[in-house]
A and B are shown apart, each in its own frame.
Chain A
Amino acid sequence: GAGVSQSPRYKVTKRGQDVALRCDPISGHVSLYWYRQALGQGPEFLTYFNYEAQQDKSGLPNDRFSAERPEGSISTLTIQRTEQRDSAMYRCASSLVAGGSTDTQYFGPGTRLTVL
């Protein structure tokens, strides 16, 4: 497909388990962003990459959250020892230009994470 894809679309896990969320950006897009969206709120920035380099991880809530993009394409957001407060929609976006403020970010469908 031509758009940003994410998997799984829904993830239900038990508290304390680790989860890995995957994002496949639009082919050729340099920048990849992760956001978290609570119900009724706008997306909240977590981290972003230019190519394989993580440029900013200031939005990651704590050290249980990590992200990687080893080959500059697909990215994985990992949450270790999940807690109920981690339940949210996790969205990925990509843009053509490296860290461009004026470049459109194209969003994926999101992964709905529920921690029981």
Chain B
Amino acid sequence: ILNVEQSPQSLHVQEGDSTNFTCSFPSSNFYALHWYRWETAKSPEALFVMTLNGDEKKKGRISATLNTKEGYSYLYIKGSQPEDSATYLCAFPVYNQGGKLIFGQGTELSVKP
């Protein structure tokens, strides 16, 4: 059974703090890792699709790194703002099963002004 783990489960930071959280996934049969941002009552919004070991992607103040050999990815937010408050989900495509994604439980980020 594939397991995608995210930690911490929730995080509370002050505006301006930088923060990071982790997604752990199986290191064998790696295709890609997806990161999504999800605000309650909205659709999950795609952030990154990461494919190469050592990959680093950036979107504004959000960046992500990937280590496929040890099976983890970090998501960083620099200078958190209240509008960054959301749940951040990672998802792992199942080997040889098309685009079927296994999602982690998410990290819920709350940024206080």
Contacts and interface: CB of A to CB of B under 8 A. Distances in A.
Contact of B32 (A55, A56, A102): A102
Given A102-B31, A102-B32, A104-B49, A50 B98 contact: yes
A100 interface: yes
Interface stretch (B57-65, B69-77, B99-107): B99-107
Interface SS, B side = loop
B99 A105 contact: yes
A43 B105 CA distance: 8
Interface residues of B, number: 25
B94 to A, nearest CB: 8
B93 interface: yes
A44 B99 contact: no
Contacts of B98: 31, 48, 50, 55-56, 98-101
A106 B46 contact: yes
Interface string B5-38: 0000000000000000000000000011010100
A100 B42 CA distance: 24
Contacts of B42: 109
B89 A42 contact: yes
Contacts of A105: 34, 46, 99, 101
Contacts of A102: 31-32, 49, 51, 93
Pick the most buried of B93, B97, B101, B105: most chain A CB atoms within 10 A of its CB. B101
A3 B91 contact: no
A99 B46 contact: no
Contact of B103 (A43, A48, A103, A106): A43
Interface string A18-49: 00000000000001010100001111110010
Contact of A43 (B44, B49, B93): B44
Contacts of A50: 98
Interface of B: 4, 31-32, 34, 36, 42-46, 49, 51, 89, 91, 93, 97-106
Given A56-B97, A107-B44, 12 more contacts: A31-B99, A42-B4, A43-B101, A48-B99, A55-B98, A56-B98, A56-B100, A102-B49, A102-B51, A104-B49, A105-B46, A107-B36
